[in-house]
Amino acid sequence: MAKKKAKKATAKTAAKKSRKVVKLAAVKKPNGNGLPKASTKPYGQAGKALTGVRILDFTHVQSGPTCTQLLAWLGADVIKVERPGVGDITRGQLVDVKGADSLYFTMLNHNKRSITIDSKHPQGKRVLDGLIKVCDVLVENFAPGALDRMGLTWDYIHKLNPRMIVASVKGFGPGPYEDCKVYENVAQCAGGSASTTGFREGPPLVTGAQIGDSGTGLHLALGIVSALYQRMRTGRGQKVLAAMQDGVLNLCRVKLRDQQRIEKGPLTEYSQYGEGIPFGSSVPRAGNDSGGGQPGWILKCKGWETDPDAYIYFITQAPVWQAICDLIGEPTWKTDPEYATPRARLPKLKAIFARIEQWTMTKTKFEVMEICNKVDIPVGPILSMKEIAEEPSLRKTGTVVEVDHPTRGKYLSVGNPIKMSDSISEVTRSPLLGEHTDEILKDVLKLSSKDISEIKNSGALSAPKKEEKAA
Ligand code: COA
């Protein structure tokens, strides 16, 4: 008893002490680490998170552009360098409006400026050197070695601008595959996603979510922002690499968790276990099983015979088991030892979900959602892209936005999914090819009209004329 009391007293003193330290430090350093005083401007009117950061954007296709689009939404000035006459290859891919930039391009390049430069032309190199000197970050996702072949090695860039952060997406990190060109599905396969996606009895599957491209772009953006933060202390730039295989694996982390568990015994939450099918030596495909400890499955809803998306994801979370039993009309399952505990249910999950499905099939997915949410049962309607495009709440938050474009007209896009109270994103249309070339030469590089015409006449910023090509 006395010991207990003494322990309690020591804990109390320790808590008191730690409170005291916090209070003192706060009094001594009201603005902590020499940061400026809190702005008195209204929220959303004190600039954006990355205002003042200038990005030299050498990205193309999807992974790199996802990253720089995000940085642009956060306020960075993103200058996209494109090959004269050609530009980012996606401008002309999956074209739906003749003569206009494709949705593939426009939806990945909002809020950026475009300059055309032939990076292998001596005068083009001169312009690039100038931009390297005034930019904070160079982002690229060329095939391995392409940047070096342009003469833009790390040493060269670092000499021109020691503060420059050089950020790259590559397919693979250093190792046997480092020289390979990589696209989305290659990364999904090499990063462990495909082997763990799909049904046990079927082949590996890729997912529609672009976890290799867009997922790696997101990883790179975090690396860049962190490098900018570190530069505030060190004053120097650094290399940032996000390999697509690594990015996909990071998103498949729970499957590497299961790989280690499988060596110790069966994965009891996988429906394969309940069905009595033995496990092999590596993580199997688990169909629609949930990745966590709460069993879940996709169930049919009213209208499934004609509507391919009339389904709902249903999670039989333990704390709401009783509510589930009441809803589906099986009240005895609440106390029946064969059903009452998660462990007892594991071998019967298939039959249990079949019984729940008999109930969900009598309702639309939205009705199921409404009924279940009222009693805290987690469910997710399978929303089609059409439903998402038309969803008013997503329009309201700016997650789905309508953008106007001079050559293609109005189109829908996904806005910034990251919402910040003091850095509010407006989505502006993607640039036309080379739309800002003059503006950048003049305002960013401060070149004289004489210099500008000299560079232009050299052919470094424009595509070779068709007649010249033919000649
Ligand atoms: N001026 C002159 N040349 C330019 C240029 C410019 N402004 N911009 C690009 N180029 C050149 C490059 O220097 C390169 O030439 P080189 O190979 O002779 O040195 C050439 O264009 C092609 O670049 P590359 O990156 O190899 O394009 P690709 O179409 O052959 O390959 C990928 C595309 C995506 C497979 C490849 O870039 C890659 O593996 N990237 C890394 C992984 C990645 O991001 N993949 C996902 C993409 S969504």
Q: Which of 337, 361, 377 is the last residue of a domain?
A: 377
The size of the chain, in residues, is 471
For ligand 1, atom 20, name the residue with the nearest CA: 146
CB atoms within 10 A of CB 139: 27
Instruction: Please check whether residues 102 and 219 belong to one and the same domain.
Output: yes
- Looking at 350, 377, 404, which one is the last position of a domain? 377
What per-residue confidence (pLDDT) applies to 290? 83
Q: Which two tokens stand for residue 5?
A: 């009391």
Percent of the chain with pLDDT over 70: 92
Examine the domain organization and report whether 187 and 302 are in the same domain: no
Q: What pLDDT, on the 0 to 100 scale, is given for residue 100?
A: 97
Let me know if 203 is exposed, middle or buried by CB neighbors in 10 A (0-12, 13-18, 19+): exposed
Residues 106 and 185 in one domain: yes
Give pLDDT tens digits for 369-397. 999 999 999 999 999 999 999 999 999 99
**Atom number, ligand 1, closest to the C-alpha of residue 182:** 39
- Asked if 462 and 329 sit in the same domain, the reply is no
Is the domain of 245 the same as that of 358? no
CA of 363 to the centre of ligand 1 (A): 51
Containing domain of residue 222, as a range? Answer: 54-251+431-466
- Whether residue 64 contacts residue 98, with contact meaning beta carbons closer than 8 Å, is answered with no
**Joined tokens for residue 388:** 């998402």
Nearest residue to 360 (alpha-carbon basis) of 351, 374, 346, 371: 371
**Given pLDDT bands bounded at 50, 70 and 90, which one contains residue 470?**
very low
Let me know whether 96 and 230 are in one domain.
yes
Would 387 be classed as within a structural domain?
Answer: no
Chain segment 77-100, per-residue pLDDT in tens: 999 999 999 999 999 999 999 999
Residue 10 resides in a domain: no
Partnered with residue 219 across adjacent β-strands are none
Determine the atom of ligand 1 nearest the C-alpha atom of 180.
39
Pocket test for ligand 1, best of 56, 181, 213, 462 (most atoms within 8 A of CB): 181
What pLDDT shows up at residue 471? Answer: 38
- How far is the centre of ligand 1, averaged over its atoms, from the C-alpha of 52 (Å)? 28
**How would residue 1 be classed by pLDDT, with cut points 50, 70 and 90?**
very low
Q: How many domains in the chain? A: 2
383 falls within a domain:
no
Q: Which of 79, 91, 123, 142 to mutate to test the pocket of ligand 1 (most atoms within 8 A of CB)?
A: 142
Which protein residues touch ligand 1 with a CB less than 6 Å away? 61-64, 81, 83, 117-120, 141-143, 146, 149-150, 169-171, 181-183, 213
Average pLDDT, the chain: 93
Give yes or no for residue 31 having a pLDDT over 70.
no
Give the domain-ending residue among 345, 377, 409: 377
User: Which residues are designated catalytic?
Assistant: 213
148 and 206 co-located in one domain = yes
Long-range contact list for 272-277, CB < 8 A, 24+ apart?
272/200, 273/346, 273/347, 274/346, 274/347, 274/348, 274/349, 274/350, 275/350, 276/347, 277/200
Residues 232 and 327 in one domain: no
Report the CATH number that the domain containing residue 367 is assigned in CATH: 3.30.1540.10
Q: Which residue's CA is the nearest one to ligand 1's atom 13?
A: 146
Q: Are residues 305 and 202 both part of a single domain? A: no
Q: Tell me the pLDDT tens digit for each residue of 306-360.
A: 999 999 999 999 999 999 999 999 999 999 999 999 989 988 999 999 999 999 9
Ligand 1 centre and the CA of 80: distance in Å? 14
- C-alpha 354/C-alpha 314 separation (Å) is 11
Give yes or no for a contact between 361 and 355, defined as CB atoms under 8 angstroms apart.
no
Is there a domain that residue 161 lies in? yes
Q: Is the pTM of this model over 0.85?
A: yes
Q: Is 159 exposed, middle or buried (0-12, 13-18, 19+ CB in 10 A)?
A: exposed
CA-nearest residue, atom 35 of ligand 1: 181
Is residue 50 within 8 Å of 77, Cβ to Cβ? no
Radius of gyration of the chain (CA): 28
Same domain (yes/no): 233, 297: no
Strand 137-140 and strand 54-58: the pairing is parallel
| Atom 46 of ligand 1, nearest CA residue | 183
Structure tokens at 125: 């190199």
Q: How many CA atoms lie within 13 A of 454 on its CB side?
A: 9
The domain that holds 170 is classified in CATH as 3.40.50.10540
In this structure, are strands 379-381 and 311-315 parallel, antiparallel, or unpaired?
A: antiparallel
User: How far away, in angstroms, is 286 Cα from ligand 1 center?
Assistant: 36
Residue 247, in any domain of the structure: yes
Ligand 1 atom closest to 117 (CA): 7
Tokens of 249: 């694996």
Contacts 24+ apart (CB under 8 A), 273-277: 273/346, 273/347, 274/346, 274/347, 274/348, 274/349, 274/350, 275/350, 276/347, 277/200
Ligand 1 centroid – CA 143 distance (Å): 5
Q: Do 230 and 85 belong to one domain?
A: yes
